[in-house]
Amino acid sequence: MPTIFWRFISKFIQNSVVPSLQLRLKTNSKMTQRTLMSYFSSKNSIENIKPVTNNKLVETSPEELEVSKSSPIKTYGKRKKNSHLFSDSSDEESNYNKKTCENNSPSKEKSPIKEQLYSTNKDNNKSTDKNKELDQSNINSKINETPEMKLLQNSTNNIVSDHSMSTEMYYDPTKKSYHPINDAFWSQNQETPYCALTKTLLCIEEVSARLKIIEILSNYFRSVIVLSPKDLLPSVYLCLNKVAPDYTGLELGIAETTLMKAIVQTTGRSMAQVKSDVNKTGDLGIVAEKSKSNQRTMFKPSRLTVKGVFEKLKEISEMTGHAVLAKKVDKIQSMFIACQDSEARFLMRSLAGKLRIGLAEQSVLQALALACTLTPPSLNYPPEIINISKEMNEEKFKKLYDEKSLILKTTYCESPNLDAIIPIILEKGVDALPENCKLTPGVPLKPMLAHPTKGVHEVLDRFDGLKFTCEWKYDGERAQIHLTEDGNTYIFSRNQENNTSKYPDILNRLNLVKGPNVQSFVMDSEAVAWDKEKKKIMPFQILSTRKRKNANEEDIKVQVCVFMFDLLYLNGEPLVKRPFWERRKLLKENFIEVEEQFLFATSLDTITMEEVQDFLEESIKGNCEGLMVKTLEEDATYEIAKRSRNWLKLKKDYLDGVGDTIDVVVLGGYLGRGKRTGTYGGFLLACYDPESEEYQSICKIGTGFTDEDLQNHTEFFKEHVIERPRSYYRYDQSHEPDHWFETIQVWEIKCADLSLSPVHRAALGIVDPEKGISLRFPRFLRIRDDKTIEQSTSAQQIAELYYSQVQIMNQGSTNTNKEDFY
């Protein structure tokens, strides 16, 4: 039966025909429409409307129906995500933001229409006159957009838009007992409206509890899986703020000025106004949304869809060549014009390359795993299982969910390519991933990471009773070298970036290095700068002077030597599940050392404290950073999905320091005095908290720099000065720098120890509810170009380093150490 017909019937009933039904239809017209649709499609007859009273039509329980009637969007935990967005902004913005959320949040007690009036009036008490006008027009438009008014306005025509408007407004992925069909507002095989995703992101923005974030996102994914499965891939990409796998190098991250230009050209606001708003709020997304909401359009462009937005974003990221900027602005404008409500906010943030809602990659994968566990993808509609948790006890469900999430995360780490993973999930389910998406040469896997330790005794304590080996820890750049079956070679960085064109010299030597039986492989190694005359390793700083892309072998001045330490794939077979002793054996059997060019990592298998200590000292004399200590037999697989305890790092710095160097983000600079006049003399540093997406100040630094370093840093940061601190920088006024910077560079630093601090904000709330952690006697070591800002040492890791300090341990504090997922 044509959709339009059932909608008409539904409206007809709603307006009067069956009084007993009327109440229900009013309370939840969308659900009933769906119910009717499924009912008509099965029974094909109007007389059969009656079964609504004997529950045949309604899949949900009466309580669910009751909840669905009001379905308020709740705020979970403290409001940390966006409180910062307005911490330093005007009332106008505060009110504006509140309204945006309340638009989405009908109250439980009041009718939606009253609640909106109520909430707007509440805001009006605090708002400026300008806001009052805006609020009044919002009230009017809200009244006009309520389901009741829409029904009146649209008696018979325009039924389709009526249906979607009346239900879109109540979309609530935060709902308990969320039903992926009844609680969605789009129908089967309809393209997912972009606003379904942006409303979900808006809800997530208001929540700080990670588990709740995962639940909300999983509800949205469940609806997409059931109703519009083709949109799952673009949905996941948009949540991750990616358009393609990392190793393709395709990324968004359009410059702020380009985006502001698009806002100016589309809304008629002046550049000065837009810039001033961005400076005030620190958030282009909010400014875009606000600029858009003040704009009146004659004709409503057709609504954006998840697929449409994703495709356009991808096209933008692929654009190159002549007049590319103007073409990008055109494309951005065409989407921006069609944005409504929070769509503009998230579109702009996606384009800028940062969603800023605390949605880390792990949470997205976890939400996908939860969605697939609760409502397993099925080729049938409606799926047989809507909510599997209702069929089993909590413990059993948790076990199932943990299994699925481990499969998904491990697959993603071994083969981080969603273009392959998502179609398998939809067609065959999560359990089919290991068979179908295997580690493959040509696709970089996430590297195994090591845990820091503070001394030889700690290594021996941890590896008590296990066989292990110690390898020199080379100070260069990680190189994951791939050879595919068809003879293509690649080199990927620690971050899965494609470094192939950086190292033509390494690739040209591969034929000498691989044995005659090797057809394909993935090798883990470290590329280190090599002094040909002195025949010794040179420091990392020398390696970092090499050209980063498209290097010509003839022009290369810094020679590298590759130190091979692991083999992860050989001739069609992944080796990651094999113990290290076996992988190392295969490495040595199938690869040949070439002097000064390709060598096996120097290693020593021992269990005595004295030998480990001597070997550590030897490694330092050999210009290495220390040792990597690795289990050989038991617990010795290549743990891609975790920062595993099977590898421990023992750096020379640990002996007199805190256990590890720390990678921090530079937030601002203090102008130099005396000898340092004309350059920055010190900097404010921060760690990154992925949970809140905040940069939390950790120390001021002024030592470890050469004059040349200071000159270079000054030149570099000159280009990244911002007028005011971003609203997500956490610091104390007393440490305010002379210039604030964009978060653009990671520095590796060393310190004497970590202490609780009343002024610094690192890991605030983890170790102490009111104090943060600061670093004592920090020294600059180097720039970490191979780490993104988000990969700097996290607040949680800072807390762990703090706990692991011997004196704290002695005081008996709790150790928060836990195994992280990559």
- Reported as type and span, the H/E element at residue 626 is strand 626-631
CB-count burial class (<10 Å; 0-12, 13-18, 19+) for 801: buried
Q: Which amino acid is at 696?
A: Q
Provide the 10 A C-beta neighbour count for residue 805. 17
Span of 229-237, 294-302, 427-435, 473-481 interacting with ligand ATP by CB under 6 A:
473-481
Closest CB to ligand ATP belongs to which residue? 478
Please report, for residues 154, 415, 457, 472, 565, the alpha-carbon distance to residue 460 in angstroms, rounded to integers and kept in the order given. Answer: 76, 34, 5, 17, 22
CB-nearer residue toward ligand ATP: 628 or 632: 628
Backbone angles phi, psi at 536, to 5 degrees: -145, 165
CB-nearer residue toward ligand ATP: 531 or 768: 531
Binding to ligand ATP in span 251-280, by CB under 6 A: none
Span of 58-66, 176-184, 446-454, 500-508 interacting with ligand ATP by CB under 6 A:
446-454
Among 163, 473, 584, 700, binds ligand ATP (CB under 6 A): 473
Span of 75-83, 109-117, 467-475, 611-619 interacting with ligand ATP by CB under 6 A:
467-475
DSSP per-residue codes, 530-588:
EETTTTEE--HHHHTTS-SSS--GGG--S-EEEEEEEEEEETTEE-TTS-HHHHHHHHH
In sequence order, the 6+-apart residues with CB closer than 8 A to the CB of 726 are: 282, 695, 740, 742, 743
Binding to ligand ATP in span 520-549, by CB under 6 A: 526
Backbone angles phi, psi at 642, to 5 degrees: -140, 155
CB-nearer residue toward ligand ATP: 336 or 474: 474
Span of 11-19, 201-209, 445-453, 607-615 interacting with ligand ATP by CB under 6 A:
445-453
Can you tell me the distance from the alpha carbon of 145 to that of 159, in angstroms, rounded to the nearest whole number? 14
Q: Are strands 739-741 and 477-483 parallel, antiparallel or unpaired?
A: unpaired
Verify binding: residue 601, ligand ATP, rule CB under 6 A: yes
Among 290, 328, 494, 583, binds ligand ATP (CB under 6 A): 494
Can you tell me the distance from the alpha carbon of 40 to that of 34, in angstroms, rounded to the nearest whole number? 10
Closest CB 234 distance from ligand ATP, rounded Å: 31
Among 134, 195, 450, 684, binds ligand ATP (CB under 6 A): 450
CB-nearer residue toward ligand ATP: 277 or 526: 526
CB-nearer residue toward ligand ATP: 40 or 654: 654
Closest CB 513 distance from ligand ATP, rounded Å: 17
Q: How many of the chain's residues bind ligand ATP (CB under 6 A)?
A: 14
Cβ atoms of 301 and 338 within 8 Å: the answer is yes
Enzyme catalytic residues: 473
Q: What is the DSSP letter of 637?
A: S
Helices (H), 206-298: 210-227, 232-240, 256-267, 271-281, 284-293
Closest CB 283 distance from ligand ATP, rounded Å: 29
Cβ atoms of 42 and 11 within 8 Å: the answer is no
Among 478, 502, 578, 761, binds ligand ATP (CB under 6 A): 478
Radius of gyration of the chain (CA): 29
Closest CB 353 distance from ligand ATP, rounded Å: 22
Among 220, 247, 463, 474, binds ligand ATP (CB under 6 A): 474
Binding to ligand ATP in span 613-672, by CB under 6 A: 628, 649, 663
Verify binding: residue 747, ligand ATP, rule CB under 6 A: no
Verify binding: residue 86, ligand ATP, rule CB under 6 A: no
Closest CB 80 distance from ligand ATP, rounded Å: 26
Among 65, 449, 518, 781, binds ligand ATP (CB under 6 A): 449
CB-nearer residue toward ligand ATP: 150 or 473: 473
- Reported as type and span, the H/E element at residue 70 is helix 62-70
Can you tell me the distance from the alpha carbon of 758 to that of 646, in angstroms, rounded to the nearest whole number? 36
Q: Which amino acid is at 357?
A: I
From the list 6, 27, 10, 30, the residue with the least C-alpha distance to 184 is 30
Span of 134-142, 283-291, 472-480, 568-576 interacting with ligand ATP by CB under 6 A:
472-480
In sequence order, the 6+-apart residues with CB closer than 8 A to the CB of 96 are: 131, 286, 290, 293
- Reported as type and span, the H/E element at residue 526 is strand 521-531
Can you tell me the distance from the alpha carbon of 431 to that of 407, in angstroms, rounded to the nearest whole number? 7
Can you tell me the distance from the alpha carbon of 33 to that of 25, in angstroms, rounded to the nearest whole number? 8
CB-nearer residue toward ligand ATP: 242 or 649: 649
Among 220, 221, 565, 728, binds ligand ATP (CB under 6 A): 565
CB-nearer residue toward ligand ATP: 474 or 780: 474
Closest CB 635 distance from ligand ATP, rounded Å: 16
Can you tell me the distance from the alpha carbon of 230 to that of 422, in angstroms, rounded to the nearest whole number? 9
Closest CB 266 distance from ligand ATP, rounded Å: 42
Span of 172-180, 232-240, 468-476, 606-614 interacting with ligand ATP by CB under 6 A:
468-476
Closest CB 377 distance from ligand ATP, rounded Å: 34
Binding residues for ligand ATP, rule: CB under 6 A, are 447, 449-450, 471, 473-474, 478, 494, 526, 565, 601, 628, 649, 663
